[in-house]
């Protein structure tokens, strides 16, 4: 990799927020899902959670691989599984949903671990997801329409989360744990080799200071012999 490429990848990784995420609750339009993934990337979200059916997910994967290169998308078949896991990890669950007790989206503290739930395009938040929501939020509007497009709303809310976190200094130093940082760095810099390793259950080979595989001929030889290290902490 060139020095510029290394600096770019590390600069983005240094600002990734491991405790800010988005959960899409059966958002099924591919263009909306892809736009939300891009919004996540722009705000430094490392991992997004998509509650989505099999057919919609297959179509989404087929049209958004570019976005997937930078944001991990974890797929769930029901909102309960995703939100139960996130709440057990200490996340506050905030949903963009019009309720009587909903608050202005700017009145929420996004500097604490936060999962933002975005409901489906027409139906909105599902009943199963609503059971796990700590607070509903709205974006004030002064026009005739009642709501923003789901991806636009996600972008507006994430921009506020980013603003608060920047003021709090949460983008000033790396926050990913070292193992996760190194794993993502390898996958971003060497996507084809990373896929090769995952398909064969191999550990990612170490990289040198230039971002290239350290002693590549030795590693390739070990792969051919069948004694290359198996996957573990770095990509397991």
How confident is the model over 210-215, as a mean pLDDT? 95
Residue 75 β-bridge partners: 50
Q: What is the mean pLDDT of the chain?
A: 91
What tokens were used for 59?
């179509």
How much is the pLDDT for 170?
Answer: 99
- Prediction pTM value: 0.89
- Calculate the alpha carbon distances from 142 to 50, 97, 139 in Å: 30, 17, 10
How confident is the model over 32-55, as a mean pLDDT? 91
Which domains, and CATH codes, for the chain?
Answer: 1-16+174-236 (no CATH), 17-167 (3.40.1280.10)
How much is the pLDDT for 235?
Answer: 63
Express each pLDDT in 92-112 by its tens digit.
999 999 888 999 999 999 999
Instruction: Order the strands of the 92-96 sheet from edge to edge.
Output: 72-76, 47-51, 20-25, 114-119, 92-96, 135-138, 103-104
What tokens were used for 34?
């892809």
Whether residue 123 is predicted with pLDDT greater than 90 in this model: the reply is no
């Amino acid at each position: 990799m060139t020095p510029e490429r290394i600096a770019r990848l590390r600069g983005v990784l240094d600002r990734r927020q491991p405790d800010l995420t988005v959960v899409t609750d059966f958002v099924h339009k591919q263009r909306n899902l892809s736009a939300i993934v891009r919004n996540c990337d722009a705000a430094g979200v490392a991992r997004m959670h998509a509650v989505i059916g099999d057919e919609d997910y297959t179509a989404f994967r087929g049209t958004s691989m570019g976005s997937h290169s930078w944001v991990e998308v974890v797929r769930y078949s029901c909102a309960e599984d995703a939100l139960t896991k996130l709440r057990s990890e200490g996340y506050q669950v905030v949903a963009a949903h019009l309720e009587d007790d909903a608050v202005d989206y700017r009145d929420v503290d996004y500097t604490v671990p936060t999962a933002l739930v975005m409901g489906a395009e027409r139906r909105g938040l599902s009943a199963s997801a609503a059971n796990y929501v700590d607070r509903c939020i709205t974006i004030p509007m002064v026009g005739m329409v009642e709501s923003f497009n789901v991806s636009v709303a996600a972008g507006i809310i994430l921009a506020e989360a980013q603003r608060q976190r920047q003021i709090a200094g949460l983008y000033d130093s790396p926050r990913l744990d070292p193992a996760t940082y190194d794993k993502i760095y390898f996958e971003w810099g060497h996507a084809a080799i990373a896929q090769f390793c995952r398909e064969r259950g191999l550990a990612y080979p170490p990289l040198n200071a230039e971002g290239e595989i350290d002693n590549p001929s030795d590693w390739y030889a070990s792969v051919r012999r069948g004694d290359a290290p198996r996957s573990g902490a770095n990509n397991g």
